[in-house]
Amino acid sequence: MLGNCGLAEDINRCSHYIRDKRGCGADHKKCGFFEPTGKVKETTSPKAPKWFEQYYK
């Protein structure tokens, strides 16, 4: 199993879904419900200031 499936078990009709392990058995990352295990999501850079925020001060 490569990752967890975020889709509810009762409506999941995916052919790659392993019901016993509640996860995906395929090696793909294009599925919108695919949640990789063991990997930490990268943090995004801080928000860039908008053009008008300079006038807040």
| Within-domain flag for 56 | no
Total domains present in the chain? 1
Which residue would you say has higher pLDDT here, 39 or 12? 12
Provide the domain limits for residue 24.
Answer: 3-36
| Within-domain flag for 45 | no
> What is the token pair recorded at 7?
């889709």
Give residue-wise pLDDT tens across range 36-57.
776 556 667 788 888 888 888 7
| Within-domain flag for 7 | yes
Residues 6+ apart with CB under 8 A from 36: 2, 3, 29
| Within-domain flag for 44 | no
**What percentage of the chain has pLDDT greater than the value 70?**
79
Side-chain-facing half-sphere of 9: CA atoms under 13 Å: 7
Task: Classify residue 55 by its DSSP letter.
Answer: G
Q: What is the pLDDT of residue 2?
A: 64
